[in-house]
């Protein structure tokens, strides 16, 4: 229970303390596979400002999914309290928003992208919004039947990717005439039992979850450019491909930075917890020479990075599907903070193994690469928080505006 939930008077006190805080505020809760990250954000609908950040290692997960709600709830509460306490230092008064955006990793969701087309019986008439709604309903039925092959599912997110008339992308479809109407939609489903667990989690946290967002979609939408996005998390890696300005495909690899730590623990004969401390000391340049030589740790991570890269190749070949991949590769997530991961990606013989439009440029995706969200925490945000920042950036307009009653976006929320 959020026993620290403030009164309305406390929230208004924050608004008087800062001009930016007069804007609507919300919380981002990024439920990863190893850590949960929480952000406290204010927004004017166009730009966001992060005033607090919190992180906590998750317990109660099984293969990245919520198994013990009480344990996950405690970790979320810890991260939320850390973020809320930070707002006391960054702006003078605590802000504890009731509204929240929940982000889910690729380990939990099943994504389906449905490109559907239909021939219009009256091509000389302007497209009616009802025609688009009918196409969206058909897409949803197709996507659900595909997702339910592994068991009962729940829809958590549906987003339009593109609308075309006679093969041309349009923004306001009702202004156009044509024979062929096309609609590409993104759907994110979760297992029904996982949906029940998330509802119990929401009740325990006493949060108003405005929307649940698939992390890979938020990450790709944050940059709005063609490229390959690789989120190296603790026990999983999410891969997202943006092509021709829109999301093309997503995938998930059940391997992440935790495998690096396990190998280090085995090599140094340490417990997993102790191995993680060695890794953190190594990243900070404070490795205890009595525990292990720095060269040994570097060698382990270099070898594991190469193995991890090899495991990505089958997925990337499927991504290619006979077409060259974009030349931008973006790394993010906690695992990407290791220098050996970046070096292995930069030195990898991409053009010899896969088809790219040109030799890819590999870069880390950091907080500064998401310009619509400003860091007011005093530099506390890291690459580990980029997926959460992408969730915040993608939710800015939803906080201050509602979809038009007859719009496709409104229909997809029903």
Domain shared by 183 and 68, yes or no: no
* DSSP 3-state of 83: helix
Q: Is residue 364 within 8 Å of 331, Cβ to Cβ?
A: yes
Tell me: pLDDT of 22 over 80: no
What is the pLDDT, as a whole number, of residue 258?
A: 85
Burial of 224 (0-12, 13-18, 19+ CB in 10 A): exposed
Does residue 2 form part of some domain? no
Domain shared by 179 and 268, yes or no: no
Q: Is residue 391 within 8 Å of 213, Cβ to Cβ?
A: yes
Domain shared by 202 and 173, yes or no: no
* DSSP 3-state of 62: strand
* CA angle (28, 109, 348) in 5-degree steps: 90
Domain of residue 236, residue span: 223-366
Span 209-256, pLDDT tens digits: 988 999 888 988 888 889 999 999 888 899 999 998 889 999 989 888
Tell me: pLDDT of 18 over 60: no
Cβ neighbour number for residue 6 with a 10 Å cutoff: 18
Domain shared by 233 and 293, yes or no: yes
Does residue 65 form part of some domain? yes
Tell me: pLDDT of 75 over 90: yes
What is the pLDDT, as a whole number, of residue 109?
A: 92
Provide the residue count of the chain. Answer: 414
What is the pLDDT, as a whole number, of residue 298?
A: 84
Span 320-360, pLDDT tens digits: 988 999 999 999 988 888 889 999 999 999 999 999 999 99
What's the rounded Cα separation, in Å, for the pair 206 and 410?
A: 26
pTM metric for this prediction: 0.87
What's the rounded Cα separation, in Å, for the pair 230 and 348?
A: 15
CATH number at residue 314: 3.30.420.40
Radius of gyration of the chain (CA): 22
Does residue 1 form part of some domain? no
Report the chain's mean pLDDT, rounded to a whole number.
86
Domain shared by 169 and 236, yes or no: no
Span 362-385, pLDDT tens digits: 999 999 999 899 999 999 999 899
Q: Is residue 108 within 8 Å of 193, Cβ to Cβ?
A: no
Mean pLDDT, residues 46-65: 90
CATH number at residue 184: 3.30.1490
Domain shared by 87 and 209, yes or no: yes
Tell me: pLDDT of 44 over 50: yes
Domain shared by 323 and 275, yes or no: yes
User: Percent of the chain scored above 70 by pLDDT?
Assistant: 89
Give the count of domains, the chain: 3
Domain shared by 77 and 212, yes or no: yes
Place of tokens 């829109």: 246
Nearest to 226, CA basis, from 249, 252, 258: 249
What's the rounded Cα separation, in Å, for the pair 316 and 99?
A: 37
What's the rounded Cα separation, in Å, for the pair 142 and 59?
A: 35
Nearest to 368, CA basis, from 379, 356, 352: 379
What is the pLDDT, as a whole number, of residue 405?
A: 45
Q: 343-350: which pairs have CB atoms within 8 A and are 24 or more residues apart?
A: 343/302, 343/305, 344/302, 344/305, 344/306, 344/308, 344/309, 345/305, 345/309, 348/309
Nearest to 53, CA basis, from 15, 85, 21: 85
Domain shared by 184 and 283, yes or no: no
What's the rounded Cα separation, in Å, for the pair 338 and 344?
A: 10
Does residue 126 form part of some domain? yes
């Amino acid at each position: 229970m959020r026993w620290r939930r403030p009164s309305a008077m406390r929230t208004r006190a924050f608004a008087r303390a800062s001009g930016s805080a007069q804007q609507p505020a919300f919380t981002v809760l990024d439920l990863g596979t190893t850590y949960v990250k929480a952000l406290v954000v204010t927004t004017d609908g166009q730009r966001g400002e992060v005033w607090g950040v919190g992180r906590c290692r998750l317990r109660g997960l099984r293969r990245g999914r919520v198994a013990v709600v009480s344990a996950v709830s405690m970790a979320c509460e810890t991260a939320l309290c850390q973020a809320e306490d930070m707002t006391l230092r960054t702006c003078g008064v605590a802000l504890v928003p009731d509204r929240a955006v929940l982000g889910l990793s690729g380990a939990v969701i099943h994504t389906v992208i449905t490109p559907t087309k239909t021939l219009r019986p009256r091509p000389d008439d302007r497209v009616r919004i009802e025609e688009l709604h009918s196409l969206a309903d058909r897409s949803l039925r197709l996507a659900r039947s595909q997702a339910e092959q592994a068991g009962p599912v729940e829809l958590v997110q549906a987003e339009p990717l593109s609308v075309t008339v006679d093969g041309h992308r349009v923004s306001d479809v009702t202004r156009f005439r044509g024979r062929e109407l096309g609609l590409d939609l993104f759907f994110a489903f979760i297992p029904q039992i996982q949906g029940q667990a998330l509802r119990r989690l929401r009740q325990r946290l006493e949060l108003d979850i405005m929307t649940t967002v698939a992390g890979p979609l938020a990450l790709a939408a944050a940059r709005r450019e063609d490229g390959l996005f690789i989120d190296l998390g603790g026990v999983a890696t999410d891969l997202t491909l943006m092509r021709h300005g829109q999301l093309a495909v997503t995938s998930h690899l059940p391997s992440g930075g935790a495998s690096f730590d396990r190998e280090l623990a085995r090599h140094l004969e340490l417990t997993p917890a102790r191995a993680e401390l060695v890794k953190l000391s190594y990243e900070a340049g404070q490795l205890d020479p009595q525990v292990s030589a720095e060269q040994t740790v570097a060698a382990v991570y270099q070898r594991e990075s190469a193995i991890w890269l090899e495991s990505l190749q089958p997925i990337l070949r499927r991504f290619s599907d006979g077409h060259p991949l974009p030349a931008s590769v973006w790394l993010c997530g906690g695992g990407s903070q290791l220098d050996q991961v970046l070096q292995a990606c930069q030195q990898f013989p991409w053009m010899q193994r896969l088809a790219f439009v040109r030799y890819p440029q590999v870069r880390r995706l950091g907080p500064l690469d998401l310009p619509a969200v400003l860091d007011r925490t005093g530099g506390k945000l890291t690459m580990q928080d980029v997926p959460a920042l992408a969730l915040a950036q993608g939710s800015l307009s939803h906080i201050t505006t509602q979809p038009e009653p007859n719009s496709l976006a409104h229909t997809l929320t029903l």
